[in-house]
Structure formats: C-alpha cells, structure tokens
Structure 1
C-alpha cells in the first residue's frame, strides 16, 4: 500500500511539472482562475493514472491467462504481490513508451513507411518496453513473483499484441467514422 501511495504522489508531481512546462512553452494559455489550473492538473493526473491502470489490469489478466494456458509459468506469493508486479511494470512501461513511440513515429514519418510497417514498428517497440520493464522488476527482486524460462517473452508478447490490436481497432473505427462523415457532407 505504501508503494501505491508513493506512485500516486509521483504521478501528481509529474502532472504539476507537465502543467508547468505546458504553461512555460505557451502551449496552454493562462487559466481564468486557480481552480481551472488545479482542475487541469488533476485531469493530467487522472489521465496518467488511467493509462497505468489499464495497462496494469491488462497485464494482470494476461498473467492469469498465461498461467491457465501454459501451466504456472508465473508463480506469485499472493494476490497483492501480483498486483504490485503489474503496477510496477506498468509504471515503467508507461514512462518509457512515449519516448519509443516518438522515435518510432518519427522514423515512420521520415522514411515514409507504409502503415502496416508502422504498426509493426510500434508493436516491436511496445514489446521491447514491456520485456525490459518486466525483466527489470524481476531483476531487482521488488516483488515475490517469479517467471519461468520463456515466460517473460510470452507475457510481453501477449500484452503488446493486445495493445496493438486495440490500437488497430480504434484507428479503423476512427477512419470509418471520418469516411461516413465525408460521405454525408457530400
């Protein structure tokens, strides 16, 4: 519980820093009052918490699925240790994902890659981030979770595959909605 409180406090500090940088770079204007500024900080905080919670829950479900399908590749002491493992791995992955996403999108734009290759590059970068974050959490022995021989590869593969599929479905729905809007306006 102490680690969750520290993570929430760090996310709140990160939200304040992000708000300060956005104001300093004049990406957002002056708020009408202090309440609006505080609400925007809490919106950033909630967005970060939501991104971490979605990945944490997905990682937890995939761990249970991998254990069901492959017969106890992942062993854990208690429910709390598995939740802590998912939370720490998600925090590290969410922290490093924007950097790799920026690099991947930049390379795709500069090299004029087709969309299928862009999605493959995004999948590989998300797989690398998840693999390294899970490996790091297991290496520092922060939680009582152990993963078998190829368990980290299997776990990171399934989670990154699910995320890229969610992204593909969302982008197709968005494209379909845009095409329907353009057909209605013509």
Structure 2
C-alpha cells in the first residue's frame, strides 16, 4: 500500500511541476490534452527513474551488508525492504537538491580543490543518507529494523558507492572532453 501511495505522491508532484512550468511559460500551451498528459507522464517517469535506481542500489547494498557483516538489517519480506528503500531514496532526493546547491555554491565561491570537494560531498551525502535511514526507521510504518551500527555501515557503503560512481563518471567525462579538444 505504501508503494502505491508513494507513486501517487510522485504523480501529484509531477502535476505540480507541470503546472509551474506552464505558469512560468517554460512550457507553451500543449496542442491538446493528450500532449499535456504525456508531458505529465514524462515528468512522472523521470521522477520515478531518479528514485527507483537509488532504491535498487540501497536494497542490493542492504542485502550485501547482511551477507558480509551478519544480520544487521532484518525485514519481514522483500517488499518491506523495497518500501524502506523507496522511502529512504525519496528523502535523500529531497534533501540532496538543497545540499547540491549549497555545496556547489560554497565550493565554487571558496574555490576548494577537487579532492576537498569530493571529500565534502561524501561527508554530506553520508549524513543525508544516515539521517534519512534514521527518519524512515523512526516512522515505524514498515517492518524493517537495523541493529547496532547497521545504519552507519549501510549509509557509509551507499554514500561510498554513489560518490565513487560520480567520481568515475566525472573523470570519464573530463577525459572525453580533453580528447575532443586535442582532436
């Protein structure tokens, strides 16, 4: 039931985003109701994709933490774990939007070296993931429990994985730009 509610919230957010885009004249008047519906569906699909990928990663990392370190994370069913992952991903996405603007703004104003920027991004992402996990666990709407230092371990591995992927992607993108400039 909570996954269905989550999808309805995403649909509502998509409608609000579409309405804001129409009011600010970013999107022109669609040629018909079907085009407007498809644009809302595209926004909904994009939001769902942005939340489902981290949810899947969080679920896999949760299973990996249980496999490597023992039963730190207990859950009734795989659906409970997926619901937990969806809620955590939703909170992380919400807070990450603010942190990206603040973090990138501060690092560009103070001209931090790249290595310090990545360290700060890791620390901020770890804090956001950790607090989101704690928040979802304290809501007590799903049957997932994390024992002892499991939240620290889980949030560390999730943050490390995403920052690592971001670092590799940035280096790959920079290498492609350098080869295109020299060609």
Partner residue in 1 for 2:31: 33
Count of residues in correspondence between the two structures: 182
1:136-147 correspondence to structure 2 within 5 Å: 136-147=135-146
Q: Distance in 2 between matches of 1:45 and 1:114?
A: 37
The alpha-carbon distance between structure 1 residues 29 and 87, as it changes in their structure 2 partners (threshold 3 A), is: closer
Partner residue in 2 for 1:149: 148
Unaligned runs of 5+ in 1: none
Partner residue in 1 for 2:177: 178
Q: Distance in 1 between matches of 2:118 and 2:109?
A: 15
SS of residue matched to 2:162 = helix
Shift of 1:23: 3.2
1:9-158 correspondence to structure 2 within 5 Å: 9-26=8-25, 28-34=26-32, 35-158=34-157
Q: Distance in 1 between matches of 2:30 and 2:138?
A: 48
Unaligned runs of 5+ in 2: none
Alpha carbons 2:80, 2:144 under 8 Å: kept:
yes
Q: Distance in 1 between matches of 2:43 and 2:118?
A: 27
SS of residue matched to 1:64 = helix
Alpha carbons 1:130, 1:160 under 8 Å: kept:
yes
SS of residue matched to 2:59 = helix
Q: Distance in 2 between matches of 1:43 and 1:178?
A: 30
CA deviation vs aligned residue, 1:146-178 (integer Å, no higher than 9, x gap) = 111110000000001100111111111111111
Alpha carbons 2:22, 2:29 under 8 Å: kept:
no
Q: Distance in 2 between matches of 1:67 and 1:112?
A: 40
Q: Distance in 1 between matches of 2:24 and 2:121?
A: 28
SS of residue matched to 1:46 = helix
CA deviation vs aligned residue, 1:38-62 (integer Å, no higher than 9, x gap) = 3332222111101111111101011
Q: Distance in 1 between matches of 2:115 and 2:22?
A: 36
TM-score normalised by L of structure 1? 0.91
